[in-house]
Structures are given as structure tokens and as C-alpha cells.
């Protein structure tokens, strides 16, 4: 597209708006049918990204390839993963997606320093569960080639605007296609995988996205430290309040969003990780070398930074 042709630009943005609206509505219908019938698989591909809320420069980005496949018989999963369901429901992933960076605002540089130090120049990276693309943008600025993947359409749209050179996929991370990336980054998403089956599927999916010898970088919640922190006390930031309690290995989270004159409540469940269970799954998927340390770039002590290859 030549931006010097304003009439063509306007026409294309209008068309992109309508197609994007159709995509989001279709994905929600698919998820609803799957949760009711627990049997059907659907796929939507090659839809453009703009929902009418994005900057003009997104129109100059590469084609936005959307893979909204929700389930796959080969994965052993006949419904969306817990993470994918939360992505379609949690208010700051959807209704209040514009507030995401105000709420999830841990510094980017420490994580990117830790990852960058272990990669060659111009490495190919998949950011699985990229959110709004803050970490991806930093890695691109350092000379790497980054692909974006997330199951939250509005967050992925923000990431695409922030990283216009990046290829993008709207996808459940349990269903990533086989690829040959030098590295995969995945922060936080694995905590939303509650069942053993989902956890196994997610780790297998991340592992098959790597080339032989490629490195997987994870940020996960550690079980014991998470239990100690789950005291039920309210924690508030930018109109957002969360309360977390411990329930036999699970974190029960209740969130309140007081934004834009409305108050919205949302509840969901996370399952933090033990070092042993995570290491075992990584090794089961061919990632034999595993190092585990304290969280990098996090303000709370309940995180782990994991590198596996």
C-alpha cells in the first residue's frame, strides 16, 4: 500500500475494520460452541488486524495472519485451554485492554537483558503470549526477529501496532504449529494452565516451536512462594484491585475493575508450578538442559526464570 494515495488508504482501513469485527465475532461464537458441545474444531486464517482502534502505521505492517484454531484432535484437547478461555473473558485482556500496560508494568529491560545475553545476534524469536508486545518490541530493537502469538485479540492488535515488522498469530498456545525458532519466550501464560493435560500440551507446543538446540525462556509462578503471598488482601493499582487466596494447590483470583465509570468483577483460577513438575515436563519434551532461578524483572518474589534447551 502506498500511503501517498489517501483514498486507497481510507478504503482499505474501512474494509479492514469490517473484516476485523467479523473475525472477533466469529472467534467468540466458535469458543461458545466448543464449550457447549466440546467437540467441534474451527479455523479462521488470513484476516487483517485492524479493529478501528489502531494507529495509522499498522496499515503499513506486513500481512496479519490470524490462526484462530481453538482445538485439534491431535493435541488431545477438545476445548480451548484455560489460558485461551481467560484471554476471551478477563477484562484487562478485552473490555479494558487499553489499561493492560498500566496494570502489567514490570520493567522490560531486565528480562530482555537476561534473554539477549544467551542468544546470537539476529535470532529468530517467538513471543508466545506476547500481550501488548512490550518485550517483543525491546528484542526487535536489539536486532532480533520476533513473531507474536497470543489468544487475546485486543492485546495482539496492540502488539502488532507496537511491532509492525512482526508476524502475528491469534492462537491458543497449546496449539502452536511446528516451527524452527532460535528461541521462544513465554511469560506468565503457563500459570493459567490448570489441568495436567493442558500443562503437558502447552510445554509440548512451546518445545515444537523451537529448532534443534533452540532455547525456551519461561516466567512462571513458583508454588510455595505463591501460597505464601495468597493472603486474600486487596492489592490495588490504576483502578484495578485483585485478591488472591490459596486453595489446595490453586490460586483463586478475584478482580475488580473500577474504570470508565463502571465496576466489573471477574474471577479465575491459576495453578503455580513446582520446580520438579516443570523440569520433568521440559525434559519429557527433549529439553534436557534446564536452569531455574529467581524471577527477572519482577516486583514480587513468587516468580521463576527458567531456561531450557
> Domain map of the chain by residue range?
6-224+270-308
167 CB contacts (<8 Å, ≥6 apart)?
62, 65, 147, 148
Per-residue pLDDT at 102: 83
| CB 277, CB 260: distance < 8 Å | no
Q: Which fold has domain 6-224+270-308?
A: Rossmann fold (3.40.50)
Per-residue pLDDT at 53: 32
| CB 208, CB 184: distance < 8 Å | no
Per-residue pLDDT at 78: 52
HSE of 163, CA atoms in CB hemisphere, 13 A: 31
Per-residue pLDDT at 165: 95
Per-residue pLDDT at 60: 31
Per-residue pLDDT at 103: 85
Cα separation, 230 vs 156, whole angstroms: 29
Per-residue pLDDT at 95: 84
Per-residue pLDDT at 155: 95
Give residue 58's region: left, alpha or beta (phi > 0; psi -120 to 50): alpha
Full-model pTM: 0.77
Per-residue model confidence as pLDDT tens digits over 155-194: 999 999 999 999 999 999 999 999 999 999 999 999 999 9
Per-residue pLDDT at 292: 98
10-residue averages of pLDDT along the chain (309 residues)? 40 41 44 39 34 31 36 47 92 87 90 98 97 97 98 96 97 96 97 97 98 98 97 92 97 92 92 98 98 94 97
Q: What would the grid cell of residue 291 be? A: 536452569
Specify the pairing of strand 181-187 against strand 124-128: parallel
Q: What would the grid cell of residue 92 be? A: 484487562
Amino acid at each position: 500500500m502506498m500511503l501517498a494515495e489517501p483514498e486507497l488508504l481510507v478504503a482499505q482501513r474501512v474494509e479492514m475494520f469490517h473484516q476485523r469485527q467479523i473475525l472477533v465475532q466469529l472467534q467468540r461464537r466458535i469458543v461458545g460452541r466448543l464449550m457447549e458441545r466440546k467437540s467441534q474444531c474451527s479455523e479462521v486464517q488470513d484476516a487483517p488486524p485492524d479493529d478501528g482502534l489502531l494507529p495509522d502505521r499498522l496499515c503499513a505492517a506486513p500481512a496479519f495472519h490470524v490462526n484462530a484454531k481453538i482445538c485439534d484432535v491431535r493435541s488431545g484437547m477438545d476445548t480451548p485451554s484455560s489460558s485461551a478461555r481467560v484471554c476471551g473473558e478477563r477484562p484487562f485482556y478485552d473490555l479494558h485492554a487499553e489499561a493492560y500496560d498500566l496494570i502489567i508494568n514490570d520493567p522490560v529491560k531486565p528480562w530482555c537483558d537476561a534473554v539477549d545475553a544467551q542468544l546470537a545476534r539476529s535470532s529468530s524469536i517467538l513471543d508466545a503470549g506476547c500481550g501488548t508486545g512490550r518485550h517483543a518490541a525491546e528484542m526487535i530493537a536489539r536486532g532480533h526477529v520476533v513473531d507474536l502469538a497470543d489468544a487475546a485479540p485486543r492485546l495482539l492488535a496492540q502488539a502488532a501496532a507496537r511491532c509492525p515488522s512482526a508476524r502475528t498469530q491469534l492462537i491458543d498456545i497449546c496449539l502452536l504449529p511446528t516451527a524452527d525458532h532460535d528461541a521462544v519466550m513465554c511469560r506468565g501464560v503457563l500459570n493459567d494452565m490448570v489441568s495436567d493435560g493442558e500443562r503437558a500440551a502447552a510445554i509440548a507446543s512451546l518445545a515444537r516451536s523451537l529448532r534443534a538446540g533452540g532455547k525456551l525462556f519461561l516466567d512462571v509462578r513458583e508454588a510455595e512462594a505463591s501460597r505464601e503471598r495468597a493472603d486474600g488482601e486487596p492489592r490495588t493499582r490504576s483502578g484495578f484491585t485483585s485478591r488472591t487466596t490459596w486453595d489446595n494447590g490453586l490460586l483463586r483470583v478475584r478482580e475488580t475493575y473500577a474504570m470508565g465509570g463502571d465496576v466489573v468483577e471477574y474471577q479465575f483460577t491459576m495453578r503455580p508450578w513446582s520446580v520438579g513438575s516443570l523440569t520433568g515436563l521440559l525434559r519429557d519434551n527433549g529439553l534436557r538442559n534446564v536452569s531455574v532461578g529467581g524471577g527477572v524483572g519482577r516486583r514480587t518474589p513468587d516468580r521463576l526464570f527458567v531456561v531450557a534447551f
